[in-house]
Structure 1
Amino acid sequence: MNKTAILVDGGFYRKRAMYLWGDKSPSERALELSSYCKRHLNEKIDGVKTKNDLYRIFYYDCTPISKKVYHPLLDRTVDFSKTDTYNWTVDFLESLKKERKFALRLGRLAEEQAEYKLKKEPLKKLFKGSITLQDITENDFFIDIKQKGVDMKIGVDIASLAYKKQVSQIILISGDSDFVPAAKLARREGIDFVLDPLHSSIKSDLFEHIDGLNTRENKPPKGETIKFNLKKK
Structure 2
Amino acid sequence: MKKKVVIFIDWENLRKEIEKIQKDKKCMHFNKTTLNYNNATHIMALIYSFIEKDDDLQKIFFYTAPPIDMDDNMSASVEIKPRIPQYAKEFLDNIVKQPYVASRLGISKFRGFDEGGKPIFIQKQVDMLLGLDIAHVVYNKLADRILIFSKDIDLVPALKCARTQGVITLLANIKEGFDMNSELMKHSDLIRTRSCENIVSYIASKMQELQK
Same topology, TM > 0.5: yes
What does residue range 68-217 of structure 1 map to in structure 2 within 5 Å?
Answer: 69-70=76-77, 77-79=79-81, 82-83=82-83, 86-111=85-110, 114-118=111-115, 140-198=116-174, 199-217=177-195
Task: Report how far residue 205 of structure 1 moved.
Answer: 1.3
Equivalence for 2:54: 51
**Deviation at residue 15 of structure 1 after TM alignment:** 1.8
Distance 1:219 1:213, change over 3 A: farther
Larger Rg: 1
Assess, with a 3 A threshold, how the Cα gap between structure 1 residues 204 and 51 changes in structure 2: closer, same or farther. Answer: same
> Cα–Cα, structure 1 residues 97 and 230, in superposed 2: closer, same or farther, change >3 Å?
farther
Letter in 1 for 2:47: C
Unaligned runs of 5+ in 2: 23-29
Q: What count of residue pairs does the alignment treat as equivalent?
A: 191
Deviation at 1:219, TM superposition (A): 6.8
Are 2:36 and 1:39 equivalent residues in the alignment? Answer: no
Cα deviation code 1:196-232 (max 9, x no counterpart): 2433113211110001112323479xxxx95642516
Give the 3-state SS of the residue equivalent to 1:144 in structure 2.
strand
CA contact (8 A) 2:64 2:104 kept: yes
Q: What's the TM-score once normalised by structure 2's chain length?
A: 0.79
Deviation for aligned residue 1:26: 7.2
Tell me the equivalent position of 2:4.
Answer: 3
Structure 1 spans left out of the alignment, 5+ residues:
43-49, 71-75, 119-139
**1:229 and 2:207 correspond:** no
Q: Find the aligned partners of 2:8 and 2:93 in 1 and give their Cα distance.
A: 18
Paired position in structure 2 for 1:123: none
| Counterpart Cα distance in 2 of 1:39 and 1:23 | 18
How far did 1:22 drift? Answer: 2.9
- What is the identity, as a one-letter code, of the residue corresponding to 1:155? G
Query: Which amino acid counterpart does residue 23 of structure 1 have in structure 2?
Result: K
CA shift digits 1:143-181 (9 cap, x unpaired): 222211100010001101100000000011011010101
Contact 1:63–1:109 (CA<8 Å) still a contact in 2? yes
Higher relative contact order (CA 8 A, sep 6+): 2
**8 Å contact from structure 1 (residues 35, 230) kept in 2:** no
Q: Within the alignment, does 1:64 sit opposite 2:67 as a pair?
A: yes
Cα distance change, pair 230–154 in 1 and its aligned pair in 2 (3 A): farther
2:32 to 16, 23, 37: 23
Q: What residue identity is the alignment partner of 1:95?
A: N
- How many percent of aligned residue pairs carry the same amino acid? 26
Cα RMSD for the two superposed structures: 2.6
> SS in structure 1 opposite 2:143?
coil
Question: What is the CA distance between 1:30 and its match in structure 2?
Answer: 1.1
8 A Cα contact 2:50 2:172, kept in partner = no
Q: What is the TM-score of this pair, normalised by structure 1?
A: 0.73
| Cα contact 2:13–2:150 (8 A) shared by 1 | yes
